[in-house]
Structure 1
Amino acid sequence: MRESKMDKENGVNVRVTRARARALKEPSRNEQAVVVGLKDVTNISAKSHKRTHTSNFQKKEGSKKRKTNVASEDDVSLQVWTIKEDAKKELAKDSSTSTMTKKESLQVQPSVENSLLSMQDTLNSPNTEINLICEKLSASVGLGIVDIDSKLRDSPIWTSYAPDIYTNIHVRECERRPLANYMETLQQDITPGMRGILVDWLVEVADEFKLVPDTLYLAVNLIDRFLSQRLITKRRLQLLGITCMLISSKYEEICAPGVEDFCVITDNTYSRQEVLKMEKEVLNLLHFQLAVPTIKTFLRRFIQVAQTSSKVAQADLEFLANYLAELALVEYSFLQFQPSKIAASSVLLARWTLNQSEHPWNPTLEHYTNYKASELKTTVLELIDLQLNTKRCRLNAVREKYQHQKFNSVANLSPKPVEYLF
């Protein structure tokens, strides 16, 4: 018996007869579909160009069929057998690939899935990370606490970082505070009164040079930290004062006054070389740690909190709180209080001075300052003494400054008794 053309082309040496073809196993549903697809392909005539949607291996075998002219039943049976084998291989390959993909996904899922989903959410929504960081504020709103950052121009950015910033500042204010008793334990030639005179004069210097308030607060902080570690004579106290003002100006100001300007302000009592030598001494002693939380650092934040629920003019509240804080800056006795406590007490007393119809402290202020009203009692009473000038202090630079009309003359205001508030 002779072999057919298809047998020779496919390298098959076994003759497939009609009986052998009938003896083959009946194809499954998927295989029947393959056969139907094959028959559709082989029955396409030159006049018909209708296309069928088949799988890759169906298209491949269909193209082979179009090249042949064999139409006998034996040849078709052989082709069915070949396609069956190819189909099994393809199905086995697809099944293996699918199994590997599932295994890999199962390995990735428990360890990385959450991270990938979080990363995808962050990319899809820029505010996702911000919302997570602000969970604390969101929870506080339910307790009647106002989110003070929600109305800011760049509120998403500011809201996300502000709590962490001020938490860090609260920690650092304890780390870099001057000693509260250095006059008694270290200094021998200077007194608290001399320090008060120096700071009072620096208030005038800052006003003369039109320096920002942060420069004044930082200068006083540098002075107290230096005096807490190094003995100094009375003659060099003013030199220390202008040097610390020079350093803080370089740190805070856009256009800081020069060394010669500070020499002139002292009527050339000190030379340029003396100022520069003192500058090196101060910076080396303090290890160049100039990023220090001061009263002004907290006061700016606490005033913002107070203004969210204030019924008085915002300018008056800000001016009066700054006035009380600068009065405390001159007094040596206020070194015993933390800068944040002085700032919070200044806001409480300012609110009470401007409006006695309601309690000056509320849950929002307590939340953002981390102080209850009862914890501020001692500091507030000390501030009232300064505001009323019960000790008849002659250092009037701060009072004269805030008696000016540009500060709404807040230095002329007097508080009501506050004992029952605590």
Structure 2
Amino acid sequence: MRECKMKNKENEGVNVRVTRARARAMKASSTNQNQNQNQNVVGVGLTDVTNSSHLKRFQTSNFQEKEGCKKRKTKVASDRVPLQVLTTQEDVKTELAKEDSSKKEMKVSLQPSVEMESLLLLTQDSVSSPNKDVNMICEKLRASAGLGIVDIDSELREKDPLIWSSYAPDIYNTIHVRECERRPLANYMEKLQQDINPKMRAILVDWLVEVSEEYKLVPDTLYLTVNLIDRVLSQRLITKQRLQLLGVACMLTSSKYEEITAPQIKEFCFITDYTYSKEEILKMEREVLNLLNFQLAVPTIKTFLRRFIQVAQTSYKVVYAELEFLANYLAELSLVEYSFLQFLPSKIAASAVLLARWTLHQSEHPWNPTLEHYTNYKASELKNTVLALLDLQLNTEGCCLNAVREKYKQQKFKSVANLSAKPVESLF
């Protein structure tokens, strides 16, 4: 009876005498249960993180992040272990030494990735580095500095301190280099195109000149339009039925890039007499942009012409409007001619300024050290381009495409299309 009562009391939780062996057994079983619970908690936490949708953001951390995950696992598991208290100074020094050694190991492990990054940067620089023509341009720019030329930018800064002339030398030195990139092929008609020819291209550009006048577009839009057309024709086979569609789509894209208020698509449908629908124009625009990788920031003839005319005006006491109109007229004539793709935009712009100055003032040589410095061309280097422009100015081939000529015969442009120059062979 006494034994039965004792068992019932134990079952009811009444305090009984516990021996040392019984205490050790109870402590061991409770410790095992706690460890199992901790492991279950850690396992559930890692499973939740792995299945989380935010994990995709961190997939680029590769090896080092995986190592961090391992360390975090260890840390979570050790949180349940009682912390050791550092009671002596030697223990503190030991722990600090361990931390220093771990930091050094992390630094060593990071070093290969840093070297790899620098190697990639060098590789990218070597891939995107300019060719030997670009290097030659940079050498010529450095060699022409400090020759007693007129500093046109300082004069502009005195007139308006807020003007961007402080950045002008760096800007134009950069675009001198960049014009060698993203150039259309000079022989794409012979190399790629099968259904169109230079005459068809000339008719298209001549018509686009009329369109730009009709909608009062800025000159940069016209120059960029022609640049986009030539770059597309250098890479994609185009039939003659889609040539006008390409021209319209390129002008629409250029208008969006250059104009404050670009013409609407319905207006481009109208000027083609609804030959192409709105959907066809938008589809062609997407094809052009994807083909050119959306690279629209390219230096054109107009980019350089604006600067070179500014340099040429330093020779006059007042701004000479005829010089600006005549140089722009000669430059736009070159847009129509497929043969001018063999010349760099900066060379065409410099040649237009030289021929314009010679046409207006034939009593002195039209080239001087200041122009040579800012254009980066000697007069002898412009000979072939100037002679080609002179043929266009005199219309020696009797071209019937007169949109540019009719434009510059207007009084607002001082009727510069009626002017003609004398032979220029003596200049070279």
Q: TM-score, normalised by structure 1?
A: 0.66
Match of 1:144 among 141, 144, 148: 148
Match of 1:179 among 157, 179, 185: 185
Q: Specify the code of the residue in structure 2 equivalent to 1:416.
A: K
Match of 1:418 among 412, 419, 424: 424
The Cα of 1:157 is off from its aligned counterpart by 5.9
Q: Deviations over 1:400-422 (max 9, x none)?
A: 00000000000000101110110
Structure 1 segment 229-378 matched on structure 2, within 5 A = 229-310=235-316, 314-378=320-384
The Cα of 1:140 is off from its aligned counterpart by 7.8
The Cα of 1:164 is off from its aligned counterpart by 1.0
Q: Deviations over 1:214-239 (max 9, x none)?
A: 00000000000000000000000000
Q: Does 1:195 align with 2:201?
A: yes
Q: Specify the code of the residue in structure 2 equivalent to 1:197.
A: I
Structure 1 segment 98-109 matched on structure 2, within 5 A = none
The Cα of 1:155 is off from its aligned counterpart by 4.8
Q: How many residue pairs were aligned?
A: 287
Alpha carbons 2:145, 2:373 under 8 Å: kept = no
Q: Specify the code of the residue in structure 2 equivalent to 1:417.
A: P
Aligned to 1:5: none
The Cα of 1:172 is off from its aligned counterpart by 1.1
- Could you tell me how far apart the structure 2 residues matched to 1:310 and 1:240 are? 43
- Could you tell me how far apart the structure 2 residues matched to 1:356 and 1:276 are? 50
In the superposition, relative to structure 1, how do residues 141 and 190 fare at CA in structure 2: closer, same or farther (>3 Å)? closer
Q: Deviations over 1:136-181 (max 9, x none)?
A: x9x9896331011122244576343111111110111110110000
Alpha carbons 1:312, 1:355 under 8 Å: kept = no
- Could you tell me how far apart the structure 2 residues matched to 1:313 and 1:157 are? 18
The Cα of 1:312 is off from its aligned counterpart by 8.1
Q: Secondary structure at the match of 2:248?
A: helix
Aligned to 1:220: 226
Q: Specify the code of the residue in structure 2 equivalent to 1:419.
A: E
Alpha carbons 1:312, 1:354 under 8 Å: kept = no
Structure 1 segment 385-396 matched on structure 2, within 5 A = 385-396=391-402
In the superposition, relative to structure 1, how do residues 323 and 223 fare at CA in structure 2: closer, same or farther (>3 Å)? same
Q: Does 1:381 align with 2:387?
A: yes
- Could you tell me how far apart the structure 1 residues matched to 2:185 and 2:144 are? 36
| Ranges in structure 1 where 5+ consecutive residues have no aligned partner | 1-136
Aligned to 2:213: 207
In the superposition, relative to structure 1, how do residues 377 and 196 fare at CA in structure 2: closer, same or farther (>3 Å)? same
The Cα of 1:311 is off from its aligned counterpart by 6.5
- Could you tell me how far apart the structure 2 residues matched to 1:345 and 1:155 are? 31
Aligned to 1:163: 169
Comparing 294-303 with 140-149, greater Cα deviation is found at 140-149
Structure 1 segment 85-164 matched on structure 2, within 5 A = 143-152=147-156, 153-155=159-161, 158-164=164-170
Aligned to 1:81: none
- Could you tell me how far apart the structure 2 residues matched to 1:140 and 1:272 are? 51
Structure with more of its chain in helix, by fraction: 2
Q: Deviations over 1:178-236 (max 9, x none)?
A: 00000000000000000000000000000000000000000000000000000000000
- Could you tell me how far apart the structure 1 residues matched to 2:371 and 2:287 are? 40
- Could you tell me how far apart the structure 1 residues matched to 2:396 and 2:288 are? 35
Alpha carbons 2:304, 2:346 under 8 Å: kept = yes
Aligned to 1:104: none
- Could you tell me how far apart the structure 2 residues matched to 1:145 and 1:208 are? 41
Alpha carbons 2:153, 2:166 under 8 Å: kept = no
Q: Deviations over 1:27-57 (max 9, x none)?
A: xxxxxxxxxxxxxxxxxxxxxxxxxxxxxxx
- Could you tell me how far apart the structure 1 residues matched to 2:148 and 2:207 are? 44
In the superposition, relative to structure 1, how do residues 311 and 385 fare at CA in structure 2: closer, same or farther (>3 Å)? farther
Q: Specify the code of the residue in structure 2 equivalent to 1:229.
A: Q
The Cα RMSD (Å) is: 2.0
Q: Deviations over 1:357-386 (max 9, x none)?
A: 111000000000000000000000000000
Q: Specify the code of the residue in structure 1 equivalent to 2:412.
A: K
In the superposition, relative to structure 1, how do residues 220 and 404 fare at CA in structure 2: closer, same or farther (>3 Å)? same
Q: Specify the code of the residue in structure 2 equivalent to 1:385.
A: D
